[in-house]
């Protein structure tokens, strides 16, 4: 064979070998990766996001999250306390809180008939250490003998305030002030009979009051 012919034959054989190798390589078996499994937590989060969408901008928050206002009540504390007067206390305060705000009861004051655990109401009048008084609503003071159905104890002419004297039958603001002015002028009542000397108290009114008061 001629050299040129031999060279051409070699080239043909090389091309055929390359073609066969490429065909074999492309037809080989290949491994296929399995699809990834979605994590449970991710799926749960996606479901929660669908069930509870975010509120639109500008939507108001639930009312439960709003802070409660600082509610307060006003009570009047009088009687045998160090600083009597009108007090402003938090809503839900008790009689014990009102006593503390008024400086506490005076030394030797009997608090047996006073329910110090009772919850106060707005506008209430708390009288300390004076038996036989009535509340602002007109009924017997809680814990007093009258509240239990027994007769009210006599009111002291020397230690009662004008408001407490007004709870007596037939005694109004003017007559109560006359009683206070009289005891201030004479230095106090020494007996119930001296009540006759007060301006505005006659025999009939004295008969109604004599068993309801004491010096």
Return the pLDDT at 100: 94
Return the pLDDT at 19: 76
Q: What is the mean pLDDT of the chain?
A: 76
| Distance in angstroms (rounded) separating the CA atoms of residues 209 and 131 | 16
Confidence bin at 64 (pLDDT 50/70/90) = very low
Residues forming beta bridges with residue 77, ordered by sequence position: 85, 126
- In this model, does residue 45 exceed pLDDT 70? no
Return the pLDDT at 28: 64
Distances (CA, A) of 12 to 1, 3, 15, 21, 25: 16, 14, 5, 14, 20
Confidence bin at 131 (pLDDT 50/70/90) = low
DSSP state of 213: E
Helix (H) or strand (E) holding 75, with range, is: strand 72-79
- In this model, does residue 35 exceed pLDDT 60? no
pTM of the model: 0.35
| Distance in angstroms (rounded) separating the CA atoms of residues 129 and 109 | 6
- In this model, does residue 43 exceed pLDDT 80? no
């Amino acid at each position: 064979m001629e050299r040129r012919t031999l060279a051409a034959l070699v080239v043909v054989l090389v091309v055929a070998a390359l073609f066969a190798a490429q065909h074999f390589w492309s037809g080989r078996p290949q491994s296929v990766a399995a699809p990834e499994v979605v994590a449970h937590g991710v799926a749960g989060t996606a479901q929660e996001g669908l069930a509870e969408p975010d509120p639109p901008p500008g939507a108001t928050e639930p009312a439960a999250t709003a802070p409660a206002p600082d509610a307060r009540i006003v009570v009047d504390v009088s009687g045998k306390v160090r600083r009597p007067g009108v007090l402003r206390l938090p809503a839900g305060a008790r009689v014990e809180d009102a006593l503390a705000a008024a400086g506490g009861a005076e030394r030797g004051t009997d608090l047996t008939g006073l329910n110090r655990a009772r919850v106060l109401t707005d506008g209430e009048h708390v009288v300390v250490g004076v038996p036989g008084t009535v509340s602002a609503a007109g009924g017997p003071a809680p814990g007093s003998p009258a509240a239990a159905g027994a007769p009210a104890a006599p009111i002291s002419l020397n230690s009662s305030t004008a408001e407490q004297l007004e709870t007596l039958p037939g005694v109004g603001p003017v007559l109560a002030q006359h009683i206070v002015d009289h005891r201030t002028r004479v230095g106090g009542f020494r007996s119930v009979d001296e009540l006759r000397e007060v301006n505005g108290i006659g025999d009939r009114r004295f008969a109604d009051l004599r068993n309801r008061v004491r010096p």
